[in-house]
Amino acid sequence: QKEVEQDPGPLSVPEGAIVSLNCTYSNSAFQYFMWYRQYSRKGPELLMYTYSSGNKEDGRFTAQVDKSSKYISLFIRDSQPSDSATYLCAINTGNQFYFGTGTSLTVIP
Amino acid sequence: DSGVTQTPKHLITATGQRVTLRCSPRSGDLSVYWYQQSLDQGLQFLIQYYNGEERAKGNILERFSAQQFPDLHSELNLSSLELGDSALYFCASSVGDRGHEQYFGPGTRLTVT
């Protein structure tokens, strides 16, 4: 079993839609939960991180963590064509870092 | 632009060869992380250095090694290269050693022929 599993997509939505991206993880010892955005052939870009259960909001992005279910989500409101990218969830505990395989998102104008 | 630089951008080499990838972290960052990204494996953590010392080790092969120098730049050495080593190699950096706020460089694309 992988440490973190991510819905692979691809996901295609119309502009303005609310997007939900999801990951599950296996180890309750994980401390930090991150979301990265990666454009084609570029390095991942940190969007948000959190370490507690609940919601964390930053502009159009909301990260949600449910530690009891070992489930993390990223919501994108009012999605824009510029949001078209691959989204990676990531988790870490102390000295190990695990990334999901990414969900490819396309926002259609 | 994250402030992390990596050289070279592209590298083409033959099986059995050895290459060195270089990374300069953001100004003020003490940690450097190396990752390998391939189509079938996704982004895999290789190794972390913090202020010159190895801090964490992931799925790094014995043929691979890294170091961080006093000026905090880092090098990843890949030897006895195999076709399967073809991938994107990313370096990331962070201020501290917890790794929850990493900034990635643009990557080095390695092709082994």
pLDDT in tens, A10-46: 999 999 999 999 999 988 888 899 999 999 889 999 9
In whole angstroms, give the CA distance from residue B101 to residue A81.
26
Question: Can you tell me which residue has the tokens 């099986």?
Answer: B15
Amino acid identity at B94? S
Looking at residue B98, its pLDDT comes to: 86
In whole angstroms, give the CA distance from residue B85 to residue A106.
30
CB B104 within 8 A of CB B7: no
**Whether the predicted pLDDT of B55 surpasses 80:** yes
pLDDT class for A2, splitting at 50, 70, 90? Answer: confident
**Whether the predicted pLDDT of B52 surpasses 80:** yes
- Between A2 and B93, the more confident residue is B93
Instruction: Report yes or no: B26 at the A interface, CB cutoff 8 Å.
Output: no
CB B55 within 8 A of CB B49: yes
Both structure tokens of A79: 């999605």
Residue A31 CB coordination number (10 Å): 13
pLDDT class for B109, splitting at 50, 70, 90? Answer: very high
Instruction: Report yes or no: A71 at the B interface, CB cutoff 8 Å.
Output: no
What's phi and psi for A92, nearest 5 deg? -145, 155
Closest CA to A19 of A31, A29, A7, A33: A7
Both structure tokens of B95: 């201020």
**Whether the predicted pLDDT of B105 surpasses 90:** yes
Looking at residue A31, its pLDDT comes to: 83
In whole angstroms, give the CA distance from residue B105 to residue B19.
18
pLDDT tens figures, A62-108: 999 999 999 999 999 999 999 999 999 999 887 889 999 999 999 99
Q: Which of A3, A48, A95 to probe the B interface (max B CBs under 10 A)?
A: A95
Report which DSSP code applies to B26.
P
Shortest CA distance from A101: residue in chain B: B42
Instruction: Report yes or no: A39 at the B interface, CB cutoff 8 Å.
Output: no
Out of A4-8, B88-92, B96-100, the most confident range is: B88-92
pLDDT class for B56, splitting at 50, 70, 90? Answer: very high
Closest CA to A88 of A52, A39, A55: A39
Looking at residue B5, its pLDDT comes to: 97
**Whether the predicted pLDDT of A8 surpasses 90:** no
Q: Mean of the per-residue pLDDT values for chain B?
A: 95
Shortest CA distance from A32: residue in chain B: B100
In whole angstroms, give the CA distance from residue B17 to residue B6.
20
pLDDT class for B15, splitting at 50, 70, 90? Answer: very high
CB A12 within 8 A of CB A83: no
A9 neighbourhood in chain B, CB within 8 Å: none
A36 neighbourhood in chain B, CB within 8 Å: 104
pLDDT tens figures, B64-95: 999 999 999 999 999 999 999 999 999 999 99
